[in-house]
Amino acid sequence: MTFIDLFCCVPSFAVFTLQCAVKNNAWGSIGTKSEVALLRQGGDSTFELQDDMTYAELWMGTHVKGDSILTSSEHAGKTLSQWVEEHPDCLGSKVRSKFNDQLPYLFKVLSINKTLSIQAHPNKTHAEQLNAKHPDIYVDDNHKPEMALALTPFEGMNGFKRLSKIVHFLEAIPEFRTVVGEKETKALQEACRTDPKGTSDSAKAVLKKSFTSFMNRDESLVSEQLDKLEKRFQKLVDEGQDISNVDGEIFLRLCKEYPGDAGSFVSYFFNVMTLKPGEAMFLQANEPHAYMSGDCIECMACSDNVVRAGLTAKYKDVPTLCEMLSYITSTPEERIFDSHVDPSDPCVTIYNPAIPDFAIAKVEILAETRNHTLGAYDSGSIVLFIRGSATATSSSISETLSLRRGSVIFVAAGESVQLNLESNDGLLAFRAYCPLD
């Protein structure tokens, strides 16, 4: 190695703060009820939070539709993608070779006040096929695994319920039975008798057939039953009756959010779950899901590939969705992602979905701790500070960064960051990175 090589490999500023893009989609939470808005304001006191505006997403990364901007170092004002392009070593050599000098993940905060569309994401091979066939609809050829980690109680639909649960609702709700169909209902009941969980291939085939029939049911029949069930449940509510044994509140809520959308019935097929803060769900390829309410950290492979099938005014592709789903059934509890404490740092909990694109580390420093080192990772990482305040120093930077709730920093591969806490109430931060061996 020559002197020049040595010099080039050490980026001059390898830890810096970022200002991140906010998205104001209509489904976002409003004003100060939105964690996205509060974090964005916390990280930048010049940000003007408006009480009547929706704040749906905070994007941390290099995506063209919301590139982060450097706010410290001599490079302040550059976008993160520009900086990465000029200093690809900050990604780490493994990420450079695996992901072609690109940051492979997009890190987000979501604040949701209205159910998002029912969707699933194709796997890599399928994404390539969809993109080749319909480049106008499926705009890129990448897969899009994603993870949602709750910051506040976070509600979403995720995967198919156990077969016995679906059959329970078919038997308890005649309107649901009508839209699924009599023949299909009988087939599901039959499958359920021998396999109540619905894990066998034959049970999955029956579920696929019934779900596909339901999704293709005549629109006028579906809207008639929707209307009927909505009125029936509403009457029961008005009479003060409990409709929780038939998940009536969720159905009514979906009807209000998406009037006339057949998607309101899907809560009888899919698990509806509420994550506690710190719990996560991971959406593999071909798993149906819809986020419903609350605030979460989200990490995903950098991609826009979504196949939608309901609760949306956007393009729906029902045949593709019905064909691609995996039809794995489960309980809501089984959908909670297993995290583990980092053996090398008890303050760190790792959520690693075992894909190269991303993992999330939760850093929770207890009250009364004075300092902590964010360890060096093999890949470039992005850290979002949720609670607590600290000053940060690193061997490669001359300035001291001042961090608080809402601050976001990029940490180059191989860099560690020394945090000196400024308050006595500890610190909570989340860090996205690539877990490449």
Residues designated catalytic: 308
Q: In this chain, which of 23, 25, 30, 328 binds ligand NAG, going by CB under 6 A?
A: 30
Interface with ligand NAG, residue 286, by CB under 6 A: yes
Q: How far is the CB of 1 from ligand NAG (least distance, A)?
A: 31
Q: In this chain, which of 17, 29, 185, 349 binds ligand NAG, going by CB under 6 A?
A: 29
Place of tokens 């506040």: 152
Place of tokens 């291939």: 201
Q: Inter-axis angle of helices 201-215 and 182-194, to 10 degrees? A: 160
Place of tokens 């009547």: 52
Sign of the alpha-carbon torsion through 5, 10, 13, 18? positive
Question: What one-character DSSP code corresponds to residue 44?
Answer: -
Interstrand relation of 381-387 and 289-301 (parallel, antiparallel or unpaired): unpaired
Residues 109-168 that bind ligand NAG (CB under 6 A): 113, 123, 125-126
Q: How far is the CB of 218 from ligand NAG (least distance, A)?
A: 26
Q: Inter-axis angle of helices 163-172 and 182-194, to 10 degrees? A: 140
Interface with ligand NAG, residue 370, by CB under 6 A: yes
| Pick 30 or 69: Cβ nearer ligand NAG | 30
Q: How far is the CB of 329 from ligand NAG (least distance, A)?
A: 17
Interface with ligand NAG, residue 231, by CB under 6 A: no
Interface with ligand NAG, residue 33, by CB under 6 A: yes
Q: How far is the CB of 420 from ligand NAG (least distance, A)?
A: 6
Rounded CA separation 407/430 (Å): 11
Q: For residue 300, what is the enclosing H or E element?
A: strand 289-301
| Pick 67 or 317: Cβ nearer ligand NAG | 317
Interface with ligand NAG, residue 400, by CB under 6 A: no
Q: In this chain, which of 371, 402, 423, 424 binds ligand NAG, going by CB under 6 A?
A: 371
| Pick 181 or 277: Cβ nearer ligand NAG | 277
- The reply to whether 146 sits in an annotated binding site is yes
Do residues 81 and 88 lie in contact, with contact meaning Cβ atoms separated by under 8 Å? no
Do residues 56 and 116 lie in contact, with contact meaning Cβ atoms separated by under 8 Å? no
Rounded CA separation 162/330 (Å): 5
Q: How far is the CB of 249 from ligand NAG (least distance, A)?
A: 16
| Pick 108 or 126: Cβ nearer ligand NAG | 126
- The reply to whether 323 sits in an annotated binding site is no
Sign of the alpha-carbon torsion through 159, 319, 174, 155? positive
Number of residues that make up the chain: 437
Beta bridge partners of 385: 429
- The reply to whether 121 sits in an annotated binding site is yes
Question: Residues of 221-257 as b/e, b for ≥16 C-beta within 10 angstroms?
Answer: ebeebbeebbeebeeeeeeeeebeebbbebbbbbbeb
Q: How far is the CB of 69 from ligand NAG (least distance, A)?
A: 27
| Count of residues in contact with ligand NAG, rule CB under 6 A | 12
Interface with ligand NAG, residue 305, by CB under 6 A: no
Interstrand relation of 57-60 and 105-112 (parallel, antiparallel or unpaired): antiparallel
> Residues 323-342: x/- map of binding to ligand NAG (CB under 6 A)?
-x------------------
| Pick 18 or 112: Cβ nearer ligand NAG | 112
- The phi, psi pair for 271, rounded to 5°, reads -65, 135
- The reply to whether 102 sits in an annotated binding site is no
Q: Which residues are annotated as a binding site?
A: 119, 121, 146, 289
Q: Which residues are annotated as a binding site for Zn(2+)?
A: 119, 121, 146, 289
In the complex, the residues that contact ligand NAG under the rule CB under 6 A are: 29-30, 33, 113, 123, 125-126, 286, 324, 370-371, 420
